[in-house]
C-alpha cells in the first residue's frame, strides 16, 4: 500500500496512539529507546511504512527524538501542574514548571458580538475584541485559545498590531483587572482546527475549559475558550469539606 493511503494513515494513527499511551502512562519512560521499525512492524502486524508514519507523528509532537545512528528515544517532556483555583497566567504557570514558555497571537480583531458573548453582558451588535492565540511549552503547542473582551472596557487607542501578549495585563492597564472567574471543564475531541493548532491527530481527546473572568465589581470582562493538550498537564483542584449547618430551631 502506498504511503499516505487512507487505510495506512488510519493504522499509523492507531499505532501512534498506542505508543503515546505507553509514553504517557510511563510504560515507556523518558530516555527509553523505541523498538526498531522491524520489531514494531512485527509486534503490531503493520508495514514498516506505517511504523515510520506513526513515529514521525510522535517526533513532530515532541514525544520522541531521533538520534542519528542510534535510533528513536522517548523525549523528556514535562507535565505541568495546572491549578484551577487561581487566575495565574498560563505563561507564568508554564515558566513556574521550569519549561520555556511561548505564545503566538494568531489573530486580534474587533468584531460584532454574537450569541456566545451574552455572558459578557454586551448588546447585540456591540463590538468585542476577539483574540486567537497558541501557547507553547518548550516550543511545543499545549494550549489553543479564543478570547473575547467587550470593546467598551478597552482603551480607544489600542494598537492591535502590538497587542500585549497577556490579556490579564491588558485588562489591568484599562482599569478592569480580573479578580475572579467561573469555569466549566469537559473533555472534547479535537477538530480539524484544534488538531492543526496543537499538532495532534483529529479526534484526540482534549481538555476544554470555558471561563468567564470578572473584575472586582462583578463585571464580566473576558470570555475564554481554551483547548489544552491533556497529557501536558496535571490538573489540580483544592477542595474543602462542606460543614453541615445546624438545623434552625422554630
Q: Report the alpha-carbon distance of residue 10 to residue 203 in Å, rounded.
A: 12
* 103 burial type by CB count under 10 A (0-12 exposed, 13-18 middle, 19+ buried): middle
| Mean pLDDT along residues 226-238 | 83
Mean pLDDT check: name the lowest of 93-102, 115-124, 147-156: 93-102
Would you kindly state where each structural domain of the chain is located, as residue ranges?
6-74, 80-236
6-17 pLDDT per residue, tens: 456 688 888 988
Pairing of β 205-214 and β 64-67 = unpaired
| Domain 80-236, CATH among 1.10.260.40, 3.40.1410.10, 1.20.1290.10, 3.40.50.620 | 3.40.1410.10
* Backbone CA torsion sign across 232, 99, 86, 239: positive
Q: What is the pLDDT of residue 16?
A: 87
Q: Which residue has the higher pLDDT, 115 or 63?
A: 115
Q: What is the pLDDT of residue 7?
A: 55
Is residue 2 pLDDT above 50, yes or no? no
178-199 pLDDT per residue, tens: 999 999 999 999 999 999 999 8
| Mean pLDDT along residues 47-75 | 87
Q: How far is CA 224 from the centre of its chain?
A: 12
CATH code, 6-74: 1.10.10.10
Q: Could you write out the DSSP letters of every residue in 59-116?
A: HHTTSEEEETTTEEEEPP---EEEETTS---HHHHHHHTTSPEEEEEEEEEEEE--GG
Q: Could you write out the DSSP letters of every residue in 116-183?
A: GGGGGTPPTT-EEEEEEEEEEETTEEEEEEEEEEEGGGS-TT--GGG--S-HHHHHHHTT----EEEE
Average pLDDT along the chain: 86
Q: Which residue has the higher pLDDT, 51 or 201?
A: 51
Amino acid at each position: 500500500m502506498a504511503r499516505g493511503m487512507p487505510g495506512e494513515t488510519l493504522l499509523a494513527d492507531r499505532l501512534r496512539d498506542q505508543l503515546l499511551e505507553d509514553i504517557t502512562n510511563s510504560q515507556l519512560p523518558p530516555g527509553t529507546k523505541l523498538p526498531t521499525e522491524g520489531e514494531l512492524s512485527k509486534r503490531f502486524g503493520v508495514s514498516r511504512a506505517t511504523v515510520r508514519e506513526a513515529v514521525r507523528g510522535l517526533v513532530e509532537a515532541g514525544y520522541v527524538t531521533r538520534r542519528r545512528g542510534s535510533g528513536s528515544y522517548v523525549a523528556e517532556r514535562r507535565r505541568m501542574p495546572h491549578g484551577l483555583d487561581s487566575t495565574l497566567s498560563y505563561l507564568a504557570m508554564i515558566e513556574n514548571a521550569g519549561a520555556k514558555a511561548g505564545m503566538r497571537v494568531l489573530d486580534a480583531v474587533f468584531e460584532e458580538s454574537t450569541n456566545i458573548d451574552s455572558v459578557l453582558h454586551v448588546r447585540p451588535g456591540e463590538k468585542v475584541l476577539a483574540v486567537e492565540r497558541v501557547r507553547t511549552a518548550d516550543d511545543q503547542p499545549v494550549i489553543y485559545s479564543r478570547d473575547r473582551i467587550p470593546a467598551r472596557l478597552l482603551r480607544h487607542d489600542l494598537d492591535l498590531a502590538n497587542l500585549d501578549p497577556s490579556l490579564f495585563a491588558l485588562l489591568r492597564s484599562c482599569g478592569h483587572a480580573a479578580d475572579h472567574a467561573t469555569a466549566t471543564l469537559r473533555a472534547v475531541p479535537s477538530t480539524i482546527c484544534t488538531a492543526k493548532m496543537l499538532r495532534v491527530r483529529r479526534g484526540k481527546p482534549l481538555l476544554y475549559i470555558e471561563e468567564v473572568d470578572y473584575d472586582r465589581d462583578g463585571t464580566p470582562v473576558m470570555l475564554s475558550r481554551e483547548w489544552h493538550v491533556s497529557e501536558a498537564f496535571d490538573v489540580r483542584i483544592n477542595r474543602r469539606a462542606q460543614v453541615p449547618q445546624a438545623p434552625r430551631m422554630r
